[in-house]
Amino acid sequence: MRRTTRSALAVTTTMSLAGLAALTGCTSAGTTSGSSGGARTTLTLGMTQDIQGWDPTSQPAYQGWAASAVYDSLIRCGANGQPEPDVATSWTFAPNNMGVTAHLRSGMRFSDGSPVDAAAVKANFEYAKKHGGSAARFADMTVTTPDKSTVKITLSKPNPLLTARLCEVRMGSPRFLASGKTNKAPVGSGPYTLDASATTAGSTYTFTKNDAYWDSKRFPYKKLVIKVITNETAAINALKTDQIDGSLITQATYSQAEAAGLKVQWQKSEVTRLLITDHLGKKVPALGNVDVRRAMNMVFDKEAIAKNLYRGLASPTAQIFRAGTQARINGLKDPYPYDVEAAKALMAKAGYAKGFTLEMPYMQGQGLDALMPVVKQQLGLINIKVKQVTLSGPNAIGELLSGKYPVPMWALGNYADSRQDIADYVLPDGIWNVEHQQDPTVNKLWNTISSKTSEQSAKDQQALNQYVIDQAWFVPMVDTGTIYASNPEVKINKSTDPAGLHPQLWDFQ
Amino acid sequence: MLVSVLRKLVRAVAVLLLVSFATFTLMYGNGPGIARAVLGTNATDATVRAEVAKLGLDRPLLVQYGDWLKGVVTGDFGESFFTGQSVSSALSSRVPVTLTLIVLTILLTAVVSVLVGVAAAVRGGWIDRVVQFLSVAGAAVPPFIVAIGLVFAFAVSFRAFPATGYVSPDQSPTGWIESVTLPVLALLVAAIANSAAQFRGAILDTLSQDFVRTLRARGIPESKVVFRHVLRNAAGPGLTVLSLQTLGLIGGAVFIEQVFALPGLGELSNGSAQRGDVPMVMGCVLVTIVIVLVVNLLGDLVTAAVNPKARTR
């Protein structure tokens, strides 16, 4: 009886283990980026967030490899924000940043066969004026087409960010734009075309090289695969096992990537900061006092934050602009060195020795989770009681930008053209100047900056930077940025991304 | 039996309406937030307002829900606010991934748990003690920790399986087996740990009943007693545990899909809920409710089929 039971058990156990063995055994290693005869033919990139469909106006600059694969722009912006050829081979800017005349490349075609000509460029700028979240950026542009290969864009007032705007408009076929189905599949003129049969939206996007592309040599891979891997552990595992050739990672997995022999690049591209946007003290009167704002700057040990919280992948800073940009003041000595006692004295001088309460929003899961307790603790040393407002989900960005909170905490990216930083973070109508408070000095300096080139306006940009520092509108803490880990076999040129976030598609060689 | 099934179906529809309405209500009221998330930080307030109107997020809750329900009845689940992808096409690529994980895990759980449960209950001794210890240990370790361990051991160190990704069986059957092995194993550990202990208990209970003594006294072989009579009587609680496991696996799959970067329902619903992609969230919720209801219904039907006494309930 016992024996029979045991035999039955043995048989069924063997069968189920055989089933498991079928599942667990006899397998080969994970797939790798394809190579044939020693020459790599496939580039497989990980992307930590999905793309938002294929409409040319919803293509992100951050991890915008899919857009770069299928779409061209009128011009490309280089690492320093300088214009480079793309659809246009040459261009002439009108005086005072009032417009541009661009001469187009001949013979270019969209993937539906239609020509990339002046009419198509005009159609795309008109489309960008009416679609997508950045539509307002193009509202002031009037586009005319003197001939088939010339486009003239004129503005009603100077726009110092004109070059950046020209790089932003991705070009789709006019027929595609008019179809109303721009999210189904892209119809561009880029170096690759989407292979819909090998694509699963939200997971894997596969592209085939467009051999007729004007700059074909700059894109050596015959096939491009972009995999959406939102989980960092998964991304690093995929890198270690050659399933992908590159991905953005964070400080948390930096040492793992290094230990695994991956190539790691650190791009300094953002400054972690508090944004004291209520500098007129309309919501919290104390913030209207410059001594209070300066005191807030003096309670953070930036060296320790860079070393401990950012694991050395950050450097202390006293200004919000990136090194190498026109607004950056080189060799600036921190005017607000870490000194809690001096900060207390400033608070007392301002009449706020007993401090005040501050509602401070921060977004969960954006790399600031470890910093928030430090901010609360350090501001507490000068009796500023921080009531943390934790934001997440679809409302988070809207809440941060709403102007409800006088001092948001955020790590904001820096652009190659620091005028963009000024426009976004300092000007009264800047997105991140969330209370949009007017300031005559800023307005005056910006008026001067507006009609000059980036180089010509360097002195005024630095004057504006110094003014912002003197007024302590921000509490800059560390220069930090993004970390890109990649397969050592893949050659990656120095990043030409104007936002300094990661390599551009053409940087992979 | 048929009346019972019909009654369950009516109840299922009521649950579906209730849960979907509750979810819709939770997602509702965040029109500007969703529009801002769709458009990005560069959008002006006017653009955001226009987007709210374009997406129909400024309409009353009941009107929005009614439209969604009407669409569902006609087979139109809507389009993602963010990507413009049709919800049904997204679901058709995501649901098979999650179902693969759940179905494989539950089938293997059933087989292994029954065998382990029978072995522990019938043989007792050290086997029983080992099973009990492993049950507690297995249930205590969260599946994502097991997953990370498995990836480290079998994908990173030995390269026996891919660390991430999913291969559809029509693309490559072996690729499919390779891609689901580690995720399924990660889910299996806790599932078997929970179920084996339940099966063991149910079998022990049944073994102590009078009819078993009678069967043995009549000289019925022990294997027949265990596999034909005891197992059938112990099936009720065992199947209940399995159906509960299946429901638990829907939640567990979310983490596993993240660790293995599998394009499943969990990833889709998680990401969509974070962004406020109402049509996509509603599509995921709908599918999840249907899975839950089907599992419950199947559980009842299988229990009734295995144990005639259950059919009268």
Q: Is residue A330 within 8 angstroms of chain B, CB to CB?
A: no
pLDDT at A19 over 50: no
Residues of chain B in contact with residue A183, where contact means CB-CB under 8 angstroms, are 83-85
pTM for the model: 0.88
Closest Cβ–Cβ partner in A2, A243, A398 for B162: A243
Tokens of B52: 């709210």
Q: What is the pLDDT of residue B309?
A: 66
Q: What is the pLDDT of residue B312?
A: 54
Could you give the 3-state DSSP secondary structure of residue A294? helix
DSSP assignments along B155-174, one per residue: IIIS--S-SS----TTT-HH
- Nearest CA-CA distance, residue B188 and chain A, Å: 11
Q: What value does the mean pLDDT take over residues A475-503?
A: 94
State the amino acid at position A371 in one-letter form. L
Which of A295, A40, A68 is CA-nearest to residue A194? A68
Q: What is the pLDDT of residue B284?
A: 93
Q: Decide if A9 and B118 are in contact by the 8 Å CB cutoff.
A: yes
Q: Decide if B111 and A12 are in contact by the 8 Å CB cutoff.
A: yes
- In degrees and rounded to multiples of 5, residue B162 shows phi and psi of -70, 145
Could you give the 3-state DSSP secondary structure of residue A271? strand
Alpha helices in chain B (DSSP H): 2-27, 31-39, 45-54, 61-73, 87-123, 125-140, 143-150, 173-207, 210-217, 222-224, 231-259, 265-275, 278-306
Give the bridge partners for A271, in sequence order.
A412, A479
Could you give the 3-state DSSP secondary structure of residue A412? strand
With CA atoms as reference, the chain B residue closest to A199 would be B93
Q: Is residue B196 within 8 angstroms of chain A, CB to CB?
A: no
Q: What value does the mean pLDDT take over residues A14-32?
A: 37
Q: Is residue B50 within 8 angstroms of chain A, CB to CB?
A: no
Q: What is the pLDDT of residue B308?
A: 67
Q: What value does the mean pLDDT take over residues A492-505?
A: 94
Closest Cβ–Cβ partner in A53, A136, A393 for B84: A53
Query: Rounded to an integer, what distance in angstroms lies between the CA atom of residue A69 and that of residue A210?
Result: 9
List chain B pLDDT tens, one digit each, 313 residues: 678 778 888 888 898 899 999 988 888 777 888 888 888 888 888 899 999 999 999 999 999 999 999 999 999 999 999 988 899 999 999 999 999 999 999 999 989 998 888 888 888 888 889 888 888 888 888 888 999 999 999 999 989 999 999 999 998 999 999 999 999 999 999 899 888 888 888 888 888 888 888 888 888 888 888 888 888 888 777 788 888 888 888 888 888 999 999 999 988 998 898 888 999 999 999 999 888 888 888 888 887 777 666 655 4
Q: Is residue B33 within 8 angstroms of chain A, CB to CB?
A: yes
- Nearest CA-CA distance, residue A397 and chain B, Å: 7
Residues 405-464 of chain A whose Cβ lies under 8 A from any Cβ of chain B: 431-432
Q: Are A421 and A321 in contact (CB under 8 A)?
A: yes
Residues of chain A in contact with residue B89, where contact means CB-CB under 8 angstroms, are 201
Which of A407, A356, A410 is CA-nearest to residue A383? A356
Q: Decide if A53 and B111 are in contact by the 8 Å CB cutoff.
A: no
Q: Is residue A285 within 8 angstroms of chain B, CB to CB?
A: no
Query: Rounded to an integer, what distance in angstroms lies between the CA atom of residue A10 and that of residue A218?
Result: 62
Q: What value does the mean pLDDT take over residues A34-46?
A: 76
| Interface-testing mutation among A58, A237, A243, A432, with chain B (most B C-beta atoms within 10 A) | A237
Q: Is residue A53 within 8 angstroms of chain B, CB to CB?
A: yes
A137: exposed, middle or buried (Cβ count in 10 Å: 0-12, 13-18, 19+) = buried
Query: Rounded to an integer, what distance in angstroms lies between the CA atom of residue B309 and that of residue A202?
Result: 48
Query: Rounded to an integer, what distance in angstroms lies between the CA atom of residue A231 and that of residue B257?
Result: 9
Q: What is the pLDDT of residue B209?
A: 85
Residues of chain A in contact with residue B111, where contact means CB-CB under 8 angstroms, are 12, 16, 19
- Nearest CA-CA distance, residue B221 and chain A, Å: 6
Q: Any idea which of A179-193, A307-321, A472-486, B121-135 has the lowest mean pLDDT? A: B121-135
Q: Is residue B34 within 8 angstroms of chain A, CB to CB?
A: yes
Q: How many CB atoms lie within 10 A of CB A279?
A: 23
State the amino acid at position A299 in one-letter form. V
- Confidence band (pLDDT; 50, 70, 90) for A471? very high
Q: Are A295 and A343 in contact (CB under 8 A)?
A: yes
Give the DSSP letter of residue A308. I
Query: Rounded to an integer, what distance in angstroms lies between the CA atom of residue B12 and that of residue B18?
Result: 10
Query: Rounded to an integer, what distance in angstroms lies between the CA atom of residue A347 and that of residue A341?
Result: 10
Buried b / exposed e along A481-493 (16+ C-beta atoms within 10 A)? bbbbbbbeebebe
Q: What value does the mean pLDDT take over residues A235-246?
A: 96
Q: How far is CA A482 from CA A16, A240, A367, B235, B293, in A?
A: 47, 19, 11, 55, 45
- Confidence band (pLDDT; 50, 70, 90) for A349? very high
Q: Decide if A243 and B161 are in contact by the 8 Å CB cutoff.
A: no
Give the DSSP letter of residue A342. H
Which of B86, B101, B96, B197 is CA-nearest to residue B143? B101
Query: Rounded to an integer, what distance in angstroms lies between the CA atom of residue A406 and that of residue A281?
Result: 9
pLDDT at A488 over 50: yes
pLDDT digits (tens, 9 = 90+) for A79-102: 999 999 999 999 999 998 999 999
Q: What is the mean pLDDT of chain A?
A: 90
Give the DSSP letter of residue A366. S
Q: What is the pLDDT of residue B250?
A: 85
B84 CB contacts (<8 Å, ≥6 apart)? A53, A54, A55, A182, A183, A184
pLDDT at A391 over 70: yes
**Dihedral (C-alpha) B242, B246, B252, B256: value to the nearest 10 degrees?**
100
Q: Is residue A117 within 8 angstroms of chain B, CB to CB?
A: no
Half-sphere exposure of A7 (CA within 13 A, CB side): 8
Query: Rounded to an integer, what distance in angstroms lies between the CA atom of residue A142 and that of residue B118?
Result: 80
Q: What is the pLDDT of residue A247?
A: 97
Q: Is residue B112 within 8 angstroms of chain A, CB to CB?
A: yes
Q: Is residue B83 within 8 angstroms of chain A, CB to CB?
A: yes
Which of A117, A113, A115 is CA-nearest to residue A102? A117
Closest Cβ–Cβ partner in A27, A202, A204 for B178: A27
Q: Decide if B181 and A234 are in contact by the 8 Å CB cutoff.
A: no
Q: Decide if A8 and B115 are in contact by the 8 Å CB cutoff.
A: no
**Segment of A260-269, A333-342, A452-461 carrying the highest mean pLDDT:** A333-342
Could you give the 3-state DSSP secondary structure of residue A453? coil
Closest Cβ–Cβ partner in B37, B47, B258 for A135: B47
Q: Decide if A395 and B112 are in contact by the 8 Å CB cutoff.
A: no
pLDDT at A28 over 60: no
Q: What is the pLDDT of residue B311?
A: 59
pLDDT at A5 over 60: no
